[in-house]
Amino acid sequence: MSEKGWKELEIGGRITEAGNAAKYKTGDWRTFLPDVDREKCINCLQCYLYCPDMAIEAKADGTLGKIDLDYCKGCGICSNICPVKCIEMKKEEK
Ligand code: SF4
Ligand code: SF4
């Protein structure tokens, strides 16, 4: 996919096509990334429910799956919401 210049973007950044968020890899501009301590995780899935980018997977068996770093923007909401504080936000090494 070629990058669009600002003159080609929709005015106001409107969404004109349903589901087009999949084309925008928000992980590109991340500074921090979540690091989950799976030993401490109680699989409550609060992080899955609150992640604004749906970057956290819930497995069919109701346990925590992987975090899709293509879409995780490093906002830290998952870390803040985790009741057992097992998600640490770490500075990303590029
Ligand atoms: S840091 Fe933000 S975007 Fe990334 S997984 Fe956590 S809640 Fe989702
Ligand atoms: S919020 Fe914390 S304890 Fe709950 S599933 Fe996510 S990482 Fe595990």
Ligand 1 atom nearest residue 73's Cα: 3
Rounded Cα distance, 54 and 52, in Å: 6
Does pLDDT of 88 surpass 90?
A: yes
CA separation for the pair 37, 49 (Å, rounded): 18
One-letter amino acid of 33: L
Residue 1 has what pLDDT? 56
Tell me which of 1.10.287.3610, 3.30.70.20, 3.30.470.30, 3.30.565.10 is the CATH number of domain 21-91: 3.30.70.20
**Minimal-distance CA residue to ligand 1 atom 4:** 72
> pLDDT value at position 76?
97
Return the domain boundaries, the chain: 21-91
For the chain, give the mean pLDDT.
90
Q: State residue 2's pLDDT score.
A: 67
Is 64 in contact with 56 (CB distance < 8 Å)? yes
- Cβ of 82 less than 6 Å from ligand 2: yes
The pTM for the full model equals 0.83
R_g over Cα of the chain? 15
- Which residue's CA lies nearest to atom 8 of ligand 2? 41
Q: CA 36, 38, 40, 43 torsion: positive or negative?
A: positive
